Structure 1
Amino acid sequence: ALGGVVLLFFVAVGVVGAGLIPMNFFASDNLRIFYVNVEMPSSTSLNETMQKTLEVEQQVKQHLQPQDARSVVAYAGMMFTETEPLYGARYGQLVVSLQSLSAGAREVKAIIESMRSAVEGVPGAVNIAFLELAGGPPAAKPISVKVRGDDYAEIQAATNALKQSLAANAGIKDITDDASPGRQEMNLKLRQDAIRQAGIAPDNVARTLRLLVDGEVVADMQDQGEKLAVRVQSQANDWQAIRQLLDVRLPTPNGGSVPLSELVEANEGVSIGNIRHYNFRRAITLEADLVKRPDEPFYDCRLKPVFTAAAPDYSLCALDTVQANQWLLAAWEQRKAEFPNIDLDFAGQLDDLQESLDAIGVLFLFGIGLMYLILGTQFSSYWQPLMILSTVPMAFTGVVFGLLLTQNPLSLYTLYGVVALAGIAVNSAIVLIAAANDRIELGMSVLHATVYAARRRLIPILITSLTTMAGLFSLATGLGGKSLLWGPVATAIVWGVGFSTVLTLFAIPVLYRVVSRRG
Structure 2
Amino acid sequence: MNPNVADTYLMLNPRDQWRKENGTIISKERLGELMRKALLDQVPGQNILVTQPIQMRFNEIMAGARADPVCKVFGDCYDELERLAGEVRTAIASICGGGETEFDSIGKNPMIEIQPDRKAMCKFNVHADELNRLVETALAGKEVGTFIEGNRRSSIVVRLAEDRRTDLEGMKRLALRTEDGGMLALGPVAKIVLVPQPVQIAREDTQRRVSILISVRGRDTEGFVEEATNFIRETVTFPDGYYFEFGGQFKNLQKAKARLLIVVPLALALIYVLIFLSFGSLRQATLIFMCVPLAVTGGIFALHLRAMPFTISAAVGFIALSGIAVLNGIMLISFINQLRGEGRELREAVVEGTLTRLRPKLITALVASLGFLPMALATGAGAEVQRPIATVVIGGILTSTFLTLLVVPVLYDWIERKTKPRINAL
TM-score, normalised with respect to structure 1: 0.63
Q: Match of 1:331? A: 231
Query: Counterpart of 2:363?
Result: 463
Which one of the candidate residues 147, 155, 158 is aligned to 2:81? 155
Counterpart in the other structure of 2:24: 104
Q: Which residue of 2 aligns with 1:225?
A: none
Question: What SS class does the counterpart of residue 384 from structure 2 fall into?
Answer: coil
Q: Which residue of 1 aligns with 2:5?
A: 62
1:492 aligns with 2:388: no
**Of residues 173, 176, 195 in structure 2, which corresponds to 1:248?**
173
Would you say 1:351 and 2:251 are equivalent positions?
A: yes
- CA distances 1:402-447 after superposition (whole Å, capped 9, x unpaired): 2233334433212211110001112222122112211222233322
Runs of at least 5 residues in structure 1 that lack an aligned partner in the other structure:
1-57, 71-96, 222-230, 252-256, 292-317
Report the Cα distance in structure 1 between the residues aligned to 2:136 and 2:55, rounded to whole angstroms.
49
Q: Match for 1:65: what amino acid? A: T
1:451 corresponds to 2:351? yes
Deviations 1:271-302 (A, max 9, x none): 345533322322233321112xxxxxxxxxxx
Structure 1 distance, partners of 2:256, 2:273, is: 26
Match of 2:126 among 199, 203, 206: 203
- Structure 1 275/483 Cα, relative in aligned 2: closer, same or farther at 3 Å? closer
1:176 corresponding residue in structure 2: 102
Alignment partner of 1:276 is 2:198? no
Q: 1:136 to 1:492 in 2, by over 3 A?
A: farther
Contact 1:246 1:260 in 2 (8 A): yes
User: Which residue of the other structure, out of 212, 218, 223, is the alignment partner of 1:286?
Assistant: 212
SS in 2 for 1:184: strand
Deviation for aligned residue 1:112: 3.4
Q: Please give the per-residue CA displacement for 1:30-79, whole angstroms capped at 9, x wherever unaligned.
A: xxxxxxxxxxxxxxxxxxxxxxxxxxxx3553233386269xxxxxxxxx
* Amino acid in the other structure paired with 1:243: L
How many angstroms does 1:505 deviate by?
A: 1.0
- Cα 1:385/1:201, change in 2 over 3 Å: same
1:248 partner letter = R
- 1:65-101 Cα distance to aligned partner (Å, 9 max, x none): 386269xxxxxxxxxxxxxxxxxxxxxxxxxx99654
Q: Which residue of 1 aligns with 2:341?
A: 441
User: Structure 1 pair 364/208, CA: closer, same or farther in 2 (3 Å)?
Assistant: closer
The 1:389/1:60 distance shift into structure 2, 3 A limit, reads: farther
Displacement of 1:120 in angstroms is: 5.4
How big is each residue's C-alpha offset from its partner over 1:294-339, in whole Å with a ceiling of 9 and x where there is no partner?
xxxxxxxxxxxxxxxxxxxxxxxx3321232123322331355343
**What's the CA shift for 1:202?**
7.3
**Do structure 1's residue 518 and structure 2's residue 418 form an aligned pair?**
yes
| 1:454–1:505 contact (8 Å) kept in structure 2 | yes
Asked if residue 113 in structure 1 is aligned to residue 33 in structure 2, the reply is: yes
Identical-pair percentage: 21
By how many angstroms is 1:183 displaced? Answer: 5.7
Structure whose residues are more often helix by fraction: 2
CA distance in 2, matches of 1:405, 1:235: 69
Judging changes above 3 Å, is the alpha-carbon distance between structure 1 residues 378 and 130 closer, same or farther for their aligned structure 2 residues? closer
Q: Secondary structure at the match of 1:172?
A: coil
Aligned equivalents of 1:441, 1:69: Cα separation in 2: 64
Partners of 2:333 and 2:316 in 1: CA distance: 27
Structure 2 matches for 1:79-478, cutoff 5 A? 101=18, 103-104=23-24, 107-117=27-37, 119=39, 129-133=49-53, 138=58, 141-169=67-95, 171-179=97-105, 184-189=110-115, 201=124, 203=126, 211-214=134-137, 235-236=160-161, 239=164, 241=166, 243-246=168-171, 248=173, 265-291=191-217, 318-477=218-377
Partner residue in 1 for 2:409: 509
For the residue of structure 2 that corresponds to 1:64, the secondary structure is helix
Say whether the 8 Å CA contact 2:69–2:213 is kept in structure 1: yes
Q: CA deviation at 1:379?
A: 1.0
CA contact (8 A) 2:93 2:99 kept: yes
State how many pairs are aligned: 395
Q: Secondary structure at the match of 2:70?
A: strand
1:212·1:236 contact (CA, 8 Å) conserved in 2?
A: no
Q: Which residues of 2 match residues 25-44 of structure 1 at below 5 A?
A: none
Q: How much has 1:493 moved relative to structure 2?
A: 1.2
State the alpha-carbon separation in 2 of the partners of residues 172 and 399 from structure 1.
28
Residues 113 and 239 (structure 1), Cα distance of their counterparts in 2 relative to 1, 3 Å cut: farther
Distance of aligned partners of 1:232 and 1:201 in 2 relative to their CA distance in 1, 3 Å threshold: farther
**Which amino acid in 1 is paired with 2:6?**
H
Q: Which has the higher strand share?
A: 1
SS of the residue 2:7 aligns to: coil
Question: CA separation in 2, counterparts of 1:67 and 1:281?
Answer: 45
Q: Secondary structure at the match of 1:319?
A: coil
Q: Is the 8 A contact 1:120 1:129 kept in 2?
A: no
Quickly say closer, same or farther: Cα 1:324–1:470, change in 2 above 3 A: closer
Q: Residues 143 and 385 (structure 1 numbering): CA distance in 2 closer, same or farther, change over 3 Å?
A: same
Distance 1:472 1:364 in 2: 22
Any unmatched runs of 5+ in structure 2? 146-155, 177-182, 420-426
- Relative to structure 1, is the Cα distance of residues 106 and 379 closer, same or farther in structure 2, using a 3 angstrom cutoff? closer
Supply the AA of the counterpart residue of 2:257: L
The structural deviation recorded for 1:150 is 2.7
**2:423 maps to what in 1?**
none
Mark the CA change 1:122 to 1:165 in structure 2 (over 3 Å): closer, same or farther: farther
Identify the residue that residue 14 of structure 1 maps to in structure 2. none
Please provide the CA RMSD for this pair: 4.4
